């Protein structure tokens, strides 16, 4: 069996791209790598967080210069993404969220020492900031 090396992209879908961009850029401090009317791509560590406008990805995208196609995809409902943070930064993240009026909905201390903070983006997706020690590989 060939080995999977990691997760390259994670996708969330939004009903309001402007609100999503404000949140991810102002609250989480992300900087867009590329964006257009239908998506925004944010580098996060060695992965990309893609925010797509809900309903804008229902058709096959044909790329220029015979590069290929991207099949349709879409999502609905509240999704979940966990973002890696340093344990020493958790208090600063709590202050950052509070300063932007973002409520922390959950705070969990895991058996191996990791800590998670849970909160929501404007679309209601559950975001988690988690320190090392939650999984065998993190």
Paired tokens of 87: 């344990």
Angstrom distance (rounded) from CA 17 to CA 4: 31
Select from 86, 76, 83 the least CA-distant residue to 119.
83
Q: Assign domain 9-130 to a CATH class.
A: alpha beta
Angstrom distance (rounded) from CA 95 to CA 22: 18
Q: In the prediction, which pLDDT does 45 show?
A: 94
- The continuous run of DSSP H or E covering 21 comes out as helix 17-22
Select from 119, 32, 127 the least CA-distant residue to 79.
127
pLDDT-based confidence at residue 9 (cuts at 50, 70, 90): very high
Q: How confident is the model over 21-73, as pLDDT tens digits?
A: 999 999 999 999 999 999 999 999 999 999 999 999 999 999 999 999 999 99
Phi, psi of 90 (to 5 degrees): -60, -40
**Where are the domains positioned within the chain?**
9-130
User: Is there a contact between 114 and 98 (Cβ–Cβ < 8 Å)?
Assistant: no
Q: In the prediction, which pLDDT does 83 show?
A: 97
pTM of the predicted model, to two decimals? Answer: 0.93
Q: How confident is the model over 63-86, as pLDDT tens digits?
A: 999 999 999 999 999 999 999 999
């Amino acid at each position: 069996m060939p080995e999977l090396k990691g997760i390259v992209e994670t996708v969330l879908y939004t009903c309001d791209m402007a609100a999503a961009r404000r949140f991810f850029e102002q609250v989480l401090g992300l900087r867009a790598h590329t964006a257009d009317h239908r998506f925004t791509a944010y580098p996060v560590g060695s992965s990309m967080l893609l925010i797509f406008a809900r309903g804008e990805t229902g058709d096959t995208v044909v790329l220029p210069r015979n590069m290929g196609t991207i099949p349709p995809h879409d999502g609905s409902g509240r999704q979940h993404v966990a973002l890696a943070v340093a344990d020493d930064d958790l208090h600063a993240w709590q202050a950052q969220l509070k300063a932007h009026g973002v409520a922390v909905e959950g705070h969990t201390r895991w058996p191996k020492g990791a800590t998670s903070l849970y909160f929501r983006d404007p679309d209601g997706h559950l975001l988690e900031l988690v320190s090392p020690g939650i999984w065998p590989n993190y």
